[in-house]
Amino acid sequence: MAKNFVQNGNTIPLLNSGSEVIASGDLVVVGNIVAIAITDIAEQDTGDGFTEGVFQLPKVSADAFTQGAAVYVSNGTAQASAVDGTFAGIAWESAVAGTTVVNVKINAGAAPAAAASGG
Q: What average pLDDT is seen over the chain?
A: 94
Residue 82 above 90 pLDDT? yes
Number of helical H runs and strand E runs in the chain: 1, 9
**Percent of residues, the chain, with pLDDT higher than 90:** 90
Q: Is the pLDDT of residue 76 over 60?
A: yes
Letter string b/e over residues 20-49, b meaning 16 or more CB atoms within 10 A of that residue's CB: eebeeebbbbeeebbbbbeeebeeeeebbb
The answer to whether 34 and 86 are in contact (CB under 8 A) is: yes
Residue 75, Cβ neighbours under 10 Å: how many? 10
Residue 116: what pLDDT? 52
**Segment 113-118 mean pLDDT:** 57
Tell me the per-residue pLDDT of 28-61, one tens digit each, with 9 for 90 and over.
999 999 999 999 999 999 999 999 999 999 999 9
pLDDT at 18: 94
113 falls in which pLDDT band (50, 70, 90)? confident
User: Is pLDDT at 101 greater than 60 in this prediction?
Assistant: yes
**Residue 25 pLDDT greater than 60, yes or no:** yes
